[in-house]
Amino acid sequence: MNFEMIEVIAKKLEHSSVRYCEYEEAGKTIKMRFDIADGSHQSGEQLVSQPNLVKPSNKNHAVKANAVGIVRFKHPCSSAIGLRPRDEVAKGEIVFFLQVGDVLSAVTAPRAGMLGERLIPDGSLVGYGEEVMMIT
């Protein structure tokens, strides 16, 4: 990993909800931590405000990011349209992908049901455990 790549990652992360990132390559580790105090970033820059997210109801179940990455609702190498809100899904069915560099990881439905609203726009950077969509 070169300095330019680290700089790009740091800029993307500092305006996201991710507060900690650790990357290891060839036996070397880089750790980045983004602190917020009193609503301002350490460097004095204001964080980009988060969009209003759909609040889950008790009957909904959140599908969460299982890693830090960029949300992709369809596979970039497929011409198929990804799943959309109100589509029925089976437990274990792929509902979205997380992209880290050139690697895509599938995130599956934790239970069968109907997909609810997407809480995060396609192409957004998410942190581990962040709610991405709902299943009703």
Q: What is the pLDDT of residues 71-119, one digit of tens each?
A: 999 988 887 778 888 999 999 999 999 999 889 999 999 999 999 989 9
Co-location of 36 and 91 in the same domain: no
pLDDT band at 35 (very low <50, low <70, confident <90, very high): low
What's the number of domains the chain is made of? Answer: 2
Residue 69 and residue 98 in one domain: yes
Domain assignment present for 107: yes
What is the extent of the structural domain holding 11?
3-41
- Within this chain, do residues 84 and 22 fall inside the same structural domain, yes or no? no
Q: Do residues 72 and 29 both lie within one domain?
A: no
117 closest CA partner among 91, 86, 90, 77: 86
Residue 54 lies in a domain: no
Q: Are 126 and 73 members of one domain?
A: yes
Among candidate residues 91, 75, 105, the one with its CA nearest the CA of residue 135: 91
pLDDT for residue 68 = 92
Lowest mean pLDDT, pick from 33-37, 108-112, 125-129: 33-37
Residue 122 has pLDDT above 70, yes or no: yes
